[in-house]
Structure 1
Amino acid sequence: MKQLFSLPTPSYSLVWTFVIQLALSRSSVLAGNGTKACKLSSESSSKVLDRLEQLANKTFTADITDGEDSYTYVFQLCGDAGGVPEAGVIQVNKKTNKMTSIGLYTKTQVIGGNQWVLLIYNDGEEYDNHCGQEKRRAMIMISCNKNADVGELKVFPEDRERGNNCYYFFELDSSAACPVESSQLSAGSILLIIAFCLVAVYLIGGFLYQRLIVGAKGMEQFPNYAFWVEVGNLTADGCDFVCRSRNREESPAYRGVTTDAVEEEPEERDDHLLPM
């Protein structure tokens, strides 16, 4: 009898978890307001919250065991978590099935960094016997992870020893928190790419024209071969004129022989040797 009586307990827990997830998925579809549903304490934070638009209307859950109690936490970005109106994060006691609102998305604070976004949901239900019976608060740290669109929701144990300023802390990895990468190409790089493409089209097109249409062979297949040869010769002459330092008017001379030694000698006439 004990075995038959103890079996329904875990089965009931599994069924209840399935029902909760089904209800959460249904409520997330019905929300459909995106990040605009969140009411921010500062309008300047709206740009930071817009970075998380792809996470809107998605439901995230996490389980934790605290002593003899087990809880399921449900988080939704700017949506009714678990179908509870205005609740961004709720706590579900698995034994009693009691739902507790931890924070409201209508009381949202947003703090953003280069690689992270911190959401703070305020004005949850009041604590029972600790933390000065102040209202609960949820803090969700969403960190940048380029390799994951959406990671798993992690929950950290609540610090109940504090006299005030208590909070529930959650962590979630997502690529939505990563900064938008702008193009690394500068204007000069783009111009170089365009110039390279134009040169490639000129060479390939000219080569095909010279070979297939004109019927050129060898180096004559190079487009405008005569023009570029002349350009090369003129460039070499200009470099020779500018860079070489020797006097161009002096004629070359062998070592030890001056230019005076190679002057043209007068022609010797041998007319007197002819017979008269």
Structure 2
Amino acid sequence: MIPSRFPRTVAAPHSLLVTTLLLLLCLTSVASAASDKKSKPLEPCTVRSPSSNAFFDLNQIAKRPATDKDLEKHKDDAEPYEAKSWHARGYDYNANFTLNFCAPVVEGLRDVEGVDERLWTNVTGYYEKGGRTYSIGTLNTEPVFRGRKLVLNYTEGSPCPGSSPSFLDRSHDGVRRKSSILSLHCEKDPLAPKAHISFVGSMDECTYFFEVRTLAACAGVESANESLSPGGVFGVIALIAVLVYIVGGCVYQRHVLNQRGWRQLPNYALWAGIGSALKDCLIILTSSCSRFFPSRRSYSRVAVNGYGRGRNGQSDAENRLIDQLDEEWDD
């Protein structure tokens, strides 16, 4: 009976393959979990749909105060350049509205009805009527989803006129204040403006409804929250592949081929051959370079059988030594 080459405890090759695959999945899960922990929080005025996980960024339609770059770009215009917020016509409300997204209105406001002076620079929507300025909401950078509708709310505006405040509608100071609701809809027409705001209506001059059609309300790509660059992702994949190669190879060499020591490494013969080749190259390189250095030994002091006195003696001794070396080489 021929004895078995391997012990009975040897694992089958397919079992080792399964073990290696499980190790790869575990390492991938760990890398993914580490990446999730390092992911950045959402930027202001961005939101992710809870139903489709689509990403939306309203910062692209925010109006900002004029910069030196803007002034330089419009320096040849007939009229001086002036940054303006978004406008919506009020029609039967007898007033037009000025609004902004993700930032206060760029127009400098003064004497806003019922709003503390320190909050004038935080107004995000207003209208003027009867020579007075009324706020319809202050800055809010947290859009929300109500079902599949993307909505942005502005609150804490000017006090509502002549209505008794209810408990639910009161603000922090106990006064019922104006607020706005903006419903944002996707507009994919490339010729349409970046944002078009339509006034829908008002409830007792206290809550204002607007519809906004803009490309910013269309699902986009969340590039700002990438925790790893493409190079980093490639590096993680390469590291996992190397670990699987080493660990899986060592398991196979140890349990299937019954190797021990350094021979457990996968492709040990290949790596050992590369090491020997590098060693030989180093020896050849050092031997080639040694001839450029002065020799410490010479035949000038060699004397054989009493010869070597004077120049003729040295020459004879050298010749005898060379002949002797030649004979030994021939033997």
Q: Settle same-fold status: TM greater than 0.5.
A: no
Question: Whose relative contact order is higher, 1 or 2, with alpha carbons under 8 Å and at least 6 apart?
Answer: 2
Taking structure 1 as the reference length, the TM-score comes to 0.41
Determine which structure has the larger strand proportion and give its number: 1
TM-score, structure 2 length as denominator?
0.35
